[in-house]
Amino acid sequence: MYYLGVDLGSVSTDLALVDKNHNLVEKIYLKTRGNPIKAIQEGFKILKDKYDEREITAAGTTGSGRMIASAIMGADAVKNEITAHARAALEFDKEVRTIIEIGGQDSKIIIINKGIVTDFAMNTVCAAGTGSFLDRQAERLEIPIEEFGDYALRAGSTVRIAGRCAVFAESDMIHKQQLGYAKEEIIRGLCDALVRNYLNNVGKGKTILPKVLFQGGVAANKGMKAAFEKELGFEIFVPENYSMMGAIGAAIIAGDQVKKTGKTKFRGFKLAENNIFSRSFDCDGCPNRCEVVKIYENDNILGYFGDRCSRWTGKTNEILGLRSG
Ligand code: SF4
């Protein structure tokens, strides 16, 4: 008996299976590559080869694509990233007070008091410090991203890099390279700059209390962890499954939900083989003119999302009295 969690983001699609004791038994990481439906189908093909769909007794979704994921796979819980990350963090350590989460495209801070989320902030605008930005810098410096943190830790000294925004940071790094600084010093300077940027923007006005968990793909970067510790003045912790916390949280929340409802809405693995695609239209129900997305599986409509008023969400053509198409 397993609970499935899917974290569908713009950069990556993560799938996690946890058992009834919330231990992680399977994790799948895929690049979304601008095609979220295909990414989920790929993930389901992998699961289908290893598990019987009847073993999945609950399914949950999170991430920016959680509505689309829910429409195509059938989800018992659809939660935003804050809720999913907090749930997984609290499962890992009940003492957590602050979650620093830096993913491929955005960063967040979540403040927790006595097991309850009391405050949070997200930065989806500035690319500096996100996984995609660090990947790009690693590529430019011709260093495997896995070794990026080691370079920072090896640096004998640091150099100040302007980390206020991605464009400034990159041009300042190039400038410092031209001045003859070592890659190690520049990378350490970059980590310091990105941490300053995070604390001054995402963490602005927040009291960061220990215990702090560092989650998301960027938590793999030891240089970033060290820079946070230097700036905050205390140790921060990286959970073993730091890059899967959203999917794990979604799975656990789904399990909790099914305990209440007694049955799952999970549709099984058949979507791995079926032709699933989306179409959008402008709703003319009111001046908002929402762009509503319609998801098809072969000729059947699985669901709608994108409406601001729930006129379409959760409806099928049968309910709406419309013909397919
Ligand atoms: S979906 Fe709702 S809010 Fe959006 S245009 Fe239609 S009626 Fe208006």
185 lines ligand 1 (CB under 6 A): no
Mean pLDDT to the nearest integer, 93-104: 94
| CA pair distance 279, 293, nearest whole angstrom | 6
Report CA dihedral (251, 103, 188, 235) to the nearest 10 degrees: -40
Q: Which long-range contacts (CB under 8 A, 24 or more apart) does 288-297 make?
A: 293/68, 295/37, 295/68, 295/71, 295/72, 297/72, 297/271
What global pTM score does this model have? 0.86
Rounded CA separation 133/104 (Å)? 8
Q: How far is the CA of 289 from the centre of ligand 1 (A)?
A: 6
Rounded to whole angstroms, the Cα distance separating 169 from 201 reads: 15
Report the pLDDT value the prediction gives residue 305, as an integer from 0 to 100.
80
Amino acid 318: pLDDT: 57
Please list the residues that pair with 5 across neighbouring strands.
16, 60
pLDDT-based confidence at residue 39 (cuts at 50, 70, 90):
very high
| Per-residue pLDDT at 77 exceeds 60 | yes
Closest approach atom of ligand 1 to CA 285: 7
Cβ(280) to ligand 1 under 6 A?
A: no
* Residue pLDDT, tens place only, 78-88: 999 999 999 99
Mean pLDDT of the region 48-77: 93
Residue 157 pLDDT:
83
Q: Is residue 54 predicted with pLDDT exceeding 70? A: yes
Residues 6+ away with beta carbon under 8 Å from 50: 26
pLDDT for 125 = 66
Q: Of all residues in the chain, what percent carry a pLDDT higher than 90?
A: 53
DSSP string, 66-112: HHHHHHHH--SEE--HHHHHHHHHHHH-TT--EEEEE-SS-EEEEEE
pLDDT of residue 156: 81
pLDDT category of residue 314 using cuts at 50, 70 and 90: low
Which helix or strand (DSSP H or E) is residue 302 part of? Answer: strand 300-305
Q: Which domains can be identified in the chain, with CATH numbers? A: 2-85+246-272 (3.30.420.40), 94-238 (3.30.420.40), 276-320 (no CATH)
Give me the sheet containing 276-282, strands edge to edge: 276-282, 291-297, 300-305
Q: Look at 94 and 319; give whichever has higher pLDDT.
A: 94
* pLDDT given at position 28: 97
More reliable by pLDDT, 312 or 60: 60
Residue 282: strand, helix, or coil? strand
Report for 147-151, 169-173, 211-215: range of highest mean pLDDT = 211-215
pLDDT at 206 over 60: yes
201 versus 96: which is more confidently predicted? 96
Provide the pLDDT confidence category of residue 253 given band limits of 50, 70 and 90: very high
Ligand 1 contact, 281 CB (< 6 A): no
Mutate to test the pocket of ligand 1, among 282, 289, 290, 293 (most ligand atoms within 8 A of CB): 290
Residue 62 or 129, more confident? 62
Q: What integer pLDDT is reported at residue 325 of this predicted model? A: 43
Q: Is the pLDDT of residue 166 over 80?
A: no
Q: What is the mean pLDDT of the chain?
A: 89
25 in contact with ligand 1, CB cutoff 6 A: no
At 319, is the pLDDT very low, low, confident or very high (cuts 50, 70, 90)?
Answer: low
Atom 4 (ligand 1) nearest CA? 290
User: Could you tell which of 289, 305, 309, 313 is best to mutate to test the pocket of ligand 1, judged by most ligand atoms within 8 Å of the CB?
Assistant: 309
Q: Which atom of ligand 1 is nearest to the CA of 309?
A: 2
102-106, 146-150, 243-247: which is most confident: 243-247
Chain-centroid distance of CA 84 in Å reads 9
- 13-27, 122-136, 278-292: the lowest-pLDDT one: 122-136
Question: Is the model's pLDDT at 315 over the cut of 60?
Answer: yes
